[in-house]
Chains A and B, each alone.
Chain A
Amino acid sequence: MTSATFPSSEPKPSWTRYFSFNTDAKVIGIQYIVLSFFYFLIGGLLAMIIRGELITPAADLVDRTVYNGIYTMHGTIMLFLFIFPVLNGLNNLLIPTMIGAPDMAFPRLNAVAFWLVPIFGTLLIASFFVPGGPAYSGWWSYPPVSLQNPLGNLLSGQGLWITAVALSGVSSIMGAVNFVTTIIRMRAPGMTWFRMPVFCWTALAAQSLQLIGLPALTGGAVMLLFDLIAGTSFYRPEGGGDPVLYQHFFWFYSHPAVYVIILPVFGVFSELFPVYARKPLFGYVYVALASFIIVGLGLIVWVHHMFPSGVAQWMRNLFMVTTMLIAVPTGVKVFAWLGTLWRGKLRLTTPMLFCLGGLFNFVFAGITGIMLATVPVDIHVSNTYFVVGHFHYVIYGAAVMGVFAAIYHWFPKFTGRMPYEGLGKVHFLLTFVGANLNFLPMHPAGLMGMPRRVSSYDPEFAFWNVLASLGAFLLGVSIIPFLLNMVSSWVRGPKATHNPWNAIGLEWLLPSPPAEDNFGEHVPTVISRPYGYGLGQPLVENQAAIERELTLQEATP
């Protein structure tokens, strides 16, 4: 029966499928990841310009107006064109293979959602070339700054920005509907909710947040666009409008967006620590359920971004408490990972190093997060580099490092080749040192009072800024070994077996790379919980036979 599962003489699929409207989730996943790294390079280049400007106190590298456009686009590109697409890429690769589905529930919708990304990406990048330049009101585009249109053109950088963000929302909603439906309805026989890998739990939680939060941002953005081009006054105080209303719409989504980013990374940590510590995940049920507590709480914390925006005192107190409460489910996860690592047989491979580094940075970001939740501290450091340092620790220090861990870990599964360990470790070292050198000095600079979004500053902040800029340049260099590794190992790296890390999971019972319909008609029946490391119980029925078959196939050239 199993022999039919692995057709051995299939023609090798052409590489051109990566440039076509393909509906295979594994192709779409790689499309997402590769495209997102293209935008990562653009966003990174903008970051280099920002840090180049800030290495001296004077505004001497770029014009001030240009600088405003650069940091706005840096934030927008990194969030909407890098981190969300790269995570959707991981979702596409991992969700169907982890739950034993042949593809996503709606393959065509999936492809449409992907192809929207280069469309709105091009729109956004094109705004560099319209008269007046790109949007310059920061990645949050608060009115009244975002309602300025000095040239009076219908086509402005800000208008393109809003359109791109709205399209990004459409694409993300399509993706979210697809991921949630797939997880709910297409799990392998025997895979009950509490036999589902934590990555799928966190993806489900994150995508639920997208579904609840994104429409609010889209609604707010539509109103902003009308204010900008149709002459309405939803956010214009002179017409009776309320600029703070936009902030509510924006943060009702954009705070949960942080959890959309970090939850799948929690999933990656939960998948990888057991593999490289050779122990079951500590407190699996609590780790899984904590994701949904984070969803619930994450929806009622958004006003902490608006403590200085003139909100009522009771709101400040309420949202301070809810924000601090988030530390509880997050702490549950952190301690579960520590419990997993405790007395484990640690293997310090590249993915494991990225996980450990990511966890370290995340804990640091969590501590500054609690500081920021406190109203008096927040008002003191609001809009300073302390905030910038905090969220870069979350997004780069934890999330991007988690993404790198995931890429190194699952690279052999989906390309059939092993990444090089040496280059990987160099990449890790440069990233870890670079990130900390870049983002740690932002905290003292912020506490001293250095505001964000300025191109010139008081010379007393110079020392910290020089350190941060050096760290940023190190981060810029760190991408070179990564790209080298990805390209060279994909082209001619050593062939990967079906389970090179000796991991437990449905995706590791597929050949590397898997067939187009994954398990096809022969989906194994799941009979135990995931992460049974060291317990000696099989994950699925007939596991020994399936693995023997895979090994036999790998032995025949």
Chain B
Amino acid sequence: MTTAIPPTGSITPHGEGGEGHANHSLTGFIIFLCSESVIFLAFFSGYAVLKTSALNWLPAGVEGLEWRMPLINTIVLVSSSGTIWLAETFMARGNLWGFRALWLLTMALGGYFLYGQAVEWSELAFGFTSGTFGGTFYLLTGFHGLHVATGVLLMALMLIKSFLPGNYAKGEQGVQATSLFWHFVDVIWIILFVLIYVWQRH
């Protein structure tokens, strides 16, 4: 007998004093993000260890990484953190169309980032198996790109949800979580950009 899940917090007064009980999902999501950041931390520290201890870091025939296009991508991603924040502000004021417009803009910026990443990948002279340089480069950018794609997908879900009647109030927690995730992806990219593109000297 699979049971219906009680609507979160509506049955029992939870927590100390029995007040606020609406934000379990957000709490859980924040805990998950903290955990997720450790996997990036692991990859970053692995990258640093491999790079500092390598004898020949760059594979033969590779001079270094082109940084202009990734810099444009960085600007795009950072500004998308701003647009998602604005979207949230509109949501808080009850301006649903303003929210949808900026939400869509954020999705477009995320999509452009993925496109830029794909173009960059296709123009590179080295592959995943080109030593630890190639391996860590594609591992880090690929794993981050996967998160960007997930973020765009989540945003699409939230956008669809905003059109369903009666889902507006319930969708808000999802919007908060998605926005938090997007800021997370953004911060990770800034660290990644510094580690891979700015720190090129070996």
Contact = CB atoms under 8 A, between A and B. Distances in A.
B185 to A, nearest CB: 16
B150 to A, nearest CB: 15
A141 B108 CA distance: 43
Contacts of A269: none
B124 to A, nearest CB: 15
A334 B178 CA distance: 45
A215 B36 contact: yes
B194 interface: no
A291 interface: no
Contact of A106 (B28, B49, B50, B133): B28
B12 A177 contact: no
Nearest to A219: B42
Interface in A238-254: 239-242, 245, 248-249, 252
Contact of B31 (A211, A218, A222, A239): A211
A242 to B, nearest CB: 6
B46 to A, nearest CB: 6
B10 to A, nearest CB: 10
B62 interface: no
A241 B133 CA distance: 10
Contacts of A211: 31, 34-35, 38
A242 B50 contact: yes
Interface string A92-131: 0000000011110111100000000000000000000000
Interface stretch (A225-233, A348-356, A443-451, A486-494): A225-233
B136 A173 contact: no
Interface string A264-294: 0000000000000000000000000000000
Contact of B38 (A102, A106, A212): A212
Contacts of B24: 105-106, 181, 185-186
A435 interface: no
B11 A520 contact: yes
Given A185-B24, A189-B18, A232 B2 contact: no
A184 interface: yes
A239 B12 contact: no
A186 B2 contact: no
B1 interface: yes
A215 B44 CA distance: 13
Contacts of B42: 215-216, 219-220, 249, 252
Contact of B2 (A22, A173, A241, A519): A22
A537 interface: no
Contacts of B61: none
Contact of B132 (A13, A173, A234): A234
Interface of A is mostly: loop
A214 B8 CA distance: 28
B89 interface: no
A383 B160 CA distance: 57
A24 B3 contact: yes
A216 B43 CA distance: 8
A178 B28 contact: yes
Interface string B120-148: 00000000110111111001000000000
Given A226-B139, A234-B50, A521 B128 contact: no
A163 interface: no
Contacts of A184: 27
Interface of B is mostly: helix
Contacts, number: 153
A107 B5 contact: yes
A239 B128 CA distance: 12
- Residue among B32, B35, B133 facing the most chain A CB atoms (10 A cut-off): B35
Interface string A517-557: 10111010000000000000000000000000000000000
A523 B9 CA distance: 13
Given A105-B28, A216-B38, A226-B139, A185 B21 contact: yes
A516 interface: yes
Interface in B38-94: 38-39, 41-43, 46, 49-50, 53-57
B3 A516 contact: yes
A176 interface: yes
A519 B56 CA distance: 65
A173 B21 CA distance: 23
Nearest to B53: A242
Nearest to B138: A232
A313 interface: no
B6 interface: yes
Interface string A126-167: 000000000000000000000000000000000000000000
A374 B63 CA distance: 47
Given A23-B5, A24-B3, A241-B50, A177 B28 contact: yes
A426 B80 CA distance: 66
A185 B165 CA distance: 29
Given A176-B31, A234-B139, 20 more contacts: A22-B1, A23-B2, A101-B12, A108-B5, A177-B31, A184-B27, A185-B24, A186-B15, A189-B16, A211-B34, A211-B38, A219-B43, A226-B139, A230-B129, A233-B132, A234-B50, A239-B132, A240-B131, A245-B50, A516-B3
Name the 8 nearest CB pairs between A and B, nearest first: A215-B39, A219-B42, A215-B38, A211-B35, A232-B135, A181-B28, A216-B42, A186-B14
10 contacts: A101-B12, A105-B28, A181-B27, A185-B23, A185-B27, A186-B12, A226-B139, A232-B128, A234-B136, A248-B49
Interface of A: 13-14, 17, 20-24, 100-103, 105-108, 173, 176-178, 180-181, 184-187, 189-192, 211-216, 218-220, 222-223, 226, 230-234, 239-242, 245, 248-249, 252, 516-517, 519-521, 523
